[in-house]
Amino acid sequence: MRLYLVTSNEHKYQEAKKILEDLDILFLKAPIGKFEIQADSLRTVAWSAALHAYKILREAVVVDDSGLFIEALKGFPGVYSNYVFRTLGIEGILKLMRNVEDRRACFKTALAAIVPPLDVVLEGEVCGTITSEPLGKGGFGFDPIFVPEGERRTFAQMSVDEKNKYSHRARAFRLFARWLKENFKL
Ligand code: ITT
């Protein structure tokens, strides 16, 4: 089976690939971009992007839409994480969090897949805390300021395998791997 991940983000592809590597599938980055609607839930964004990609490719597709939800900011940047990362950036988030004691935050992923004749939407989540300064050079996005529960290092201070032990994306893709095994005997 050939399965396309629809994303412009190479890091996402590398993280997901490690989770799916035991399955007998050819996991590729799609030759088309991710079509992103503006919506207030990750599930809606992921599902509409998957549908759009499937209509073009007519092959099995999977989309991951993710975001960082900060408790003290009432869930901001959430579904706007991509835009906020490109505009305010990490420094902007740290500024908003200056002198804020409650540092709790969660990363969430909604994964939508169309694997004919079936489709599915799954979720993954990891909670932790926002640091007061960026730490580490690995990963992408908000990785340098997020420490998952049970760790002292940020995601940016970890290898892909270490991040995959905890991450929202890895959790969603492990559920997806199980779903593929159960439904397609891979
Ligand atoms: P695609 O939409 O093309 O897949 P993207 O990077 O824009 O790539 P999202 O819209 O799903 O991905 O993610 C929104 C933002 O949330 C992203 O730009 C990052 O800043 C942040 N983000 C998502 N997952 C992350 C992770 O595992 N580590 C750090 N930041 C993450």
Phi, psi of 22 (to 5 degrees): -80, -15
- What are 49-68's pLDDT values in tens digits? 999 999 999 999 999 999 99
- What are 56-103's pLDDT values in tens digits? 999 999 999 999 999 999 999 999 999 999 999 999 999 999 999 999
Give the integer Cα–Cα distance in Å for 103 and 72: 7
Q: Distance, CA 107 to ligand 1 centroid (Å)?
A: 10
Say what the pLDDT of residue 46 is: 98
Q: Kindly give the number of the ligand 1 atom that is closest to the alpha carbon of 77.
A: 16
Q: Ligand 1: residues whose CB is within 6 Å?
A: 7-9, 12, 34, 64-68, 81-82, 85, 107, 139-143, 155, 167, 169
Q: Is 143 a catalytic residue?
A: no
CB 127 within 8 A of CB 174: no
Question: The pTM is what?
Answer: 0.97
What the chain holds in terms of domains, given with CATH numbers, is: 2-184 (3.90.950.10)
Instruction: Using the predicted structure, report yes or no on whether residue 185 has a pLDDT greater than 90.
Output: no
